Structure 1
Amino acid sequence: MFGSSRRRMVGCLALIPAVTLAAVACSPAAATAPSPASIDPVAGIVVGDGAVDIQLWSDPSCPHCMSLDAAVGDDLAAFVADGTATWTLHPMTYVSAKRGDTTDYSTRAAALLLGAAAAGEDDALLPLYALIQRNQVTADHSPSDEELLGFATTAGAASDLSTAIADYASLASAANDAWLGAPIPGTDQVVDHVPLLVIDGTVFEVREDGTDAARFAAAVAEAAAE
């Protein structure tokens, strides 16, 4: 969250002021990430500083979320990189249990994303999210904590994230509980499923019929032109 591309964790949808990661993200002198207990659980992970607001509620164990990322992930990364859009990820964690996953992949992966964001690993967040989606639990394998940390390294994270999964698991669960069943401000949509994608206040219809990529690009272009 931060960058040239300013990336930070902020409560952009929160209705009350909250402690954010902006000061840590922007200060070269910051030595440690903020305590998870000081972070607003509804804030999300914010990447970029473009005018088009893209909000995503997604779960690391949701196959439809994986399909959506495969369809629009590259375009999303490009829109963030060129300054068109700001992406806010709200990682949810309830799908692991729903699918009978006893390894709690959703919470572990969401915690790693939150920890990487808190550590200021701005450039690694989008590729890390993509790797997490691409390597979901199968009948034969669930990525271990060590493998998840390997994804972070592959994504370009240089910080020591060895304790991030344990440190940020409670925040990941709190964020899930805060959003599940809650209305998305400015829309008529309640967070009752994933993926949920909102572009400049308009809920994007995820169809998985081969049209998502083109319609996503068109929706962002339209929003940018307004």
Structure 2
Amino acid sequence: MTVTAMLATGAALAGCSTTPAPQASDTSPSVSAAGLISPQNADDFGLPAGDGAVRIELWTDLSCPYCQKLEAATGDMISDAVAAGRATLVIHPMNFVSAKHGDQTDWSTRAANALAAVSDAGENDRLPALYALLQEHQTLADGSSHPSDDDLRGFIREAGVTADLTNAVTTRPFAGWVSASNDHWMGSTIAGTSQVVQGVPILVIDGRVVDLSATDAIDQVRAAIGG
């Protein structure tokens, strides 16, 4: 089965879902406002990469297999659009799937913390490459993939990040921010749309929610971002 066909099963958007939590406050996380450490260069509860005119927003969990399939199908074209200056990618990390899958390593939070640390280090241009690696190497319930912190540091280096994030991987300073992002979005309606965040992945391009269950979903993404 092709990746497109797997996304078109009708379950993609709700493939990793949970009961929505009460809608959270719109207050952004900060040391003073919420007692949390917010990564530098974050865009509210999002991690931006690029500065292109096309705005691509992705709600995702790094333990969600449907998010992994979406990255495999669209990651290269989105990364290329960001690198070419056509698009801005904003990653909104969630972290509910690890617990749902019984993952004792909490990969959802550990991996999203790494993304936040890269943003905090001012290397947002490396976020698409790191995101792809983190999705590729998800922790799996059968134990066939079980990335350690050393592996995570290796993925960061492989993505071309030059900052030393050894301590950030170990201490996870942005774990609270990742959880706050999850709680903020779960059960909330994405501004300008009727889409309620009840699961992942959700992909919004220039304010339009992409129907990932459509057979031409990948073609829609390609047309929306150009190139």
| TM-score tier after normalising by the smaller chain length | 0.7 to 0.9
1:167 aligns to 2:167 (yes or no): no
- 8 Å contact kept, 1:41–1:178: no
**Gap regions ≥5 residues in structure 2:** 1-24, 31-35
Aligned length: 193
In the aligned structure 1, how far is the partner of 2:64 from the partner of 2:39?
Answer: 28
In the aligned structure 2, how far is the partner of 1:16 from the partner of 1:103?
Answer: 29
What secondary structure is seen at the aligned counterpart in 2 of 1:131? helix
Closer, same or farther in 2 for the Cα pair 1:107/1:15, shift >3 Å?
closer
Shift of 1:15: 6.5
User: Pairwise mapping of residues 9-158 of structure 1 onto structure 2 (< 5 A)?
Assistant: 36-37=37-38, 42-138=44-140, 139-140=142-143, 141-158=145-162
- 8 Å contact kept, 1:41–1:175: no
Q: Which residue of 1 aligns with 2:15?
A: none
Shift of 1:219: 2.3
Give the letter aligned to residue 158 of structure 1: T
Closer, same or farther in 2 for the Cα pair 1:37/1:156, shift >3 Å?
closer
Shift of 1:16: 6.9
Q: Which residue of 2 aligns with 1:177?
A: 183
Shift of 1:217: 0.5
What secondary structure is seen at the aligned counterpart in 2 of 1:158? coil
Shift of 1:220: 2.5
Spell out, residue by residue over 1:143-166, the C-alpha distance to the aligned partner (whole angstroms, 9 max, x if none). 111111110000011111112231
Identity across the alignment (%): 45
What secondary structure is seen at the aligned counterpart in 2 of 1:76? helix
- 8 Å contact kept, 1:42–1:178: no
Shift of 1:17: 8.1
Q: Which residue of 1 aligns with 2:224?
A: 219
What secondary structure is seen at the aligned counterpart in 2 of 1:90? strand
Bigger relative contact order (CA 8 A; separation at least 6): 2
The root-mean-square deviation of aligned C-alpha atoms, in Å, is 2.4
- 8 Å contact kept, 2:190–2:197: yes
In the aligned structure 1, how far is the partner of 2:43 from the partner of 2:127?
Answer: 18
Closer, same or farther in 2 for the Cα pair 1:156/1:37, shift >3 Å?
closer
In the aligned structure 2, how far is the partner of 1:95 from the partner of 1:38?
Answer: 22
